[in-house]
Amino acid sequence: MLAKSFRLSAVFLLVVAIVPALAQNSSNELSAYTSAVARVHPSDRLAQLEHFAIDSSPGPLKIQALEFVIWEHLRTRNTGHAITWADELSNIDKNNPIALAVLSNRARSAVEQGAMKPGQLLRMASRGLDNIPQLQRPLGMSVADFGQLRQQAYAMLSGAAGAAELGMKDYVAARAYLHNSVSVDPNNPRYVYPLALADLDGPDKNTKEGYWSLARAVNLTRGTSEGSEIAHYARDRYVRDGGTTTAWNQFLVSAASTRQPTASSSTLTASAAPPPAVSRPVPRVTPPATNASIKTPTVATPRKSQPAPSVWADDTSPPAIRKRRIPATTGPISLGILVETSLANKDNRSVVVNSLIDMLRHLNDRDEAFILTYDNNLVFQQDLTTDPQQLEQALENIKPQKGAVLDDAIAFAAGHLSRIAKYPNRVLLVISDGRNVDSQTSPVQTSAEINAAGVRIFCIGMDVSEAYERSRLQALSSSTGGQSSFISAGQFRKATEQMAKNIGIDFRF
């Protein structure tokens, strides 16, 4: 009995000693992590974070450190080191979207070389895309950097999924994914070239965009061995489909600009489109390492706060990029609420937040909703959920910021509803003043996302000051079967009640 009591006492003393030690260890790790991210010089910060990632025990801080390290290598285009750390991150968090983005980008080469099946790559990329909404900003990473990291991961995963679909000859699906990548990184030939191939083959070909992207790919890879292969294939494809070498050379010059050439600047016409029955193999291309990593959106030329120019220089309507999905109007609702953060300032915050909370409280038990905010970045305050308390908390957490990347936000929100919404009755409620500042997404890409999602868009335009801003919101809603309303801040509550009724929410204040 005495021996048993002694053993129990020993165990108790051991536990008493271990618990503070564990707490002390956790405190030491947090201190080491915060010390690393606080380093001002990027190289010092990276070195300290790498040491922490190696020495720390598995857990949230280690995962955040690895994400931070991968981002530092991606932003400096050190792809090899990013892959090494992505392998480490994947070992402790197999569904981490940052790790999956980097590894799926590498796996594209394995598919091109026949060492991996396209279906395996598609499953890897899809798993990453499914987990991006749950990605949290690493402690100490700026909001701007996190926004860029998430966009970059989204582009890499979409690019990998598009390449996989292209390998399986599902050209329509490939276009959908690759449009997402090109909208984030329009000068990356790793996205532009496969988009051209997907446009030029399969049903509903888009020859105008396809040859434009093909010419862009030639220009973007000029001077590399892969570029020479692309250039030969592009010219031969153009000639085979009815064009001439001289016309193609002229088209390349036009494509060197950032805008779509007019019809008169190229002899590519409907007669040069490929015959429907033709299906020919295309060369496999692995872009050089300098082009393999994603360029962040900050390197793109900033746009002025004017209506985004048409990507079709002659302002004619482009051919449909993707087949339109007809939105459902009955049944449980998958609702996205997109809020421009500047409208939740101290003057308007109470009426905007409280009105939306009241509306959400009237959703049916099966309805789901998400809260996405936008300014210079896109932030998921809350992904799709049926829990009204989580949605209310998300609205309360909105913090006003400068910026209005409206087209980016709508394209992302529509694409998100397309991928994970439970119900065909998909609705996007946009709260905006109509401004579109520094968006990287073109109007045609925004339209493509909306068409593919089968989403109805309802817009509440608050204090819209310009006619073209009003027209932008009206076009979004009217083309999808939704409605728009233009109000001052004092009318927001009444407008929300009317929009809820139009959407199908039994909402009475």
Of the candidates 88, 90, 53, 68, the one whose C-alpha atom is nearest the C-alpha of residue 140 is 68
> Is residue 180, in this structure, part of any structural domain at all?
yes
Q: Which of 159, 174, 205 is the last residue of a domain?
A: 205
**Could you report the per-residue pLDDT of 187-241, keeping only the tens digit for each?**
999 999 999 999 999 888 888 889 999 999 999 999 888 888 999 999 998 988 8
> Is residue 315, in this structure, part of any structural domain at all?
no
Q: Which of 245, 273, 301 is the last residue of a domain?
A: 273
From residue 380, alpha-carbon distances to 227, 302, 362, 395 in Å are 38, 24, 22, 11
Q: What H or E segment, with its residue span, contains residue 415? A: helix 406-420
> Is residue 316, in this structure, part of any structural domain at all?
no
494: left (phi over 0), alpha (psi -120 to 50) or beta: alpha
Q: Is the pLDDT of residue 398 over 70?
A: yes
* pLDDT at residue 274 in the model: 29
CA 427 to chain centre: 19
> Is residue 86, in this structure, part of any structural domain at all?
yes
**Could you report the per-residue pLDDT of 433-483, keeping only the tens digit for each?**
999 988 777 676 677 778 777 899 999 999 998 888 998 899 888 888 899
Identify whether the C-beta of residue 158 lies closer than 8 Å to the C-beta of residue 178: yes
Identify whether the C-beta of residue 428 lies closer than 8 Å to the C-beta of residue 456: yes
Q: 409 and 492: one domain?
A: yes
**Could you report the per-residue pLDDT of 268-310, keeping only the tens digit for each?**
332 232 222 223 233 333 232 333 332 322 222 223 333 332 2
d(CA 238, CA 256): 17
Structure tokens belonging to residue 350: 């109470």
> Is residue 194, in this structure, part of any structural domain at all?
yes
Q: Domain span at residue 458? A: 333-503
Q: CB burial class (10 A; 0-12, 13-18, 19+) of residue 363?
A: buried
Of the candidates 345, 334, 364, 356, the one whose C-alpha atom is nearest the C-alpha of residue 453 is 334
Q: 163 and 129: one domain?
A: yes
> Is residue 364, in this structure, part of any structural domain at all?
yes
> Is residue 326, in this structure, part of any structural domain at all?
no
The count of structural domains within the chain is: 3
* pLDDT at residue 321 in the model: 39
> Is residue 287, in this structure, part of any structural domain at all?
no
Identify whether the C-beta of residue 49 lies closer than 8 Å to the C-beta of residue 37: yes
**Could you report the per-residue pLDDT of 156-186, keeping only the tens digit for each?**
999 999 999 999 999 999 999 999 999 999 9
- Spell 71-110 as b/e; 16+ CB within 10 A means b: bbbbbeeebebbbebbebbbeebeebbbbbbbbbbbbbee
Q: Are strands 378-385 and 368-374 parallel, antiparallel or unpaired?
A: antiparallel
Identify whether the C-beta of residue 288 lies closer than 8 Å to the C-beta of residue 226: yes
Q: pLDDT tier at 402 (50, 70, 90 boundaries)?
A: confident
Q: Which of 173, 188, 205 is the last residue of a domain?
A: 205
pTM over 0.85: no
505: left (phi over 0), alpha (psi -120 to 50) or beta: beta
196: left (phi over 0), alpha (psi -120 to 50) or beta: alpha
Of the candidates 125, 157, 117, 159, the one whose C-alpha atom is nearest the C-alpha of residue 287 is 159
Q: What H or E segment, with its residue span, contains residue 43? A: helix 42-55
* pLDDT at residue 355 in the model: 93
Q: Angle CA(89)–CA(92)–CA(94) in degrees, nearest 5?
A: 80
Q: What is the DSSP string of 340-390?
A: EGGGGSTTTHHHHHHHHHHHHTTS-TT-EEEEEEESSSEEEEEEEES-HHH
Q: 158 and 262: one domain?
A: no
Q: Residue 279: phi, psi to the nearest 5?
A: -145, 110
Q: What is the CATH number of the domain that holds 376?
A: 3.40.50.410
